[in-house]
Structure 1
């Protein structure tokens, strides 16, 4: 049974905030290659610490960052 998947809205939030991927990676000390995978939603597991960093950076709740897509 397929229960759907999670999508991160990083690209949308970056555009809304008007910041580049390079900027956020430097400010949050996130390797760019890892960050790109999250931006493309190519992940198997979510890093709770990263989610906390992103929520703090974007000043948003987890629900604004992560979307559940039912298939």
Structure 2
């Protein structure tokens, strides 16, 4: 998840996002630190709408073995 990067780029605080989207700060911090098992599709949609981004801006795949960012194959 690239939440921290997107917030920094937009000059937004986590508190603003949590308040606007009615997300607990504790859970939001887990998403920001990539310490979660799953994330609801509805939350991804809300984040993309609020941050005015697409899913690919918000979520990137990192290969667990090489720690390299991977682009989707088209």
Provide TM-score, normalisation by structure 2: 0.83
Measured on the aligned residues, the alpha-carbon RMSD in Å equals: 0.7
Query: For 1:1-71, what aligned pairs fall within 5 Å after superposition?
Result: 8-70=1-63, 71=65
| Larger strand fraction of residues | 1
Give the unaligned 5+ runs of structure 2: 66-74
Number of aligned residue pairs: 64
Give the unaligned 5+ runs of structure 1: 1-7
Of structures 1 and 2, the one scoring higher in RCO (CA 8 A, sep 6+) is 1
Provide TM-score, normalisation by structure 1: 0.86
Runs ≥4 in structure 1, deviation > 3 angstroms? none
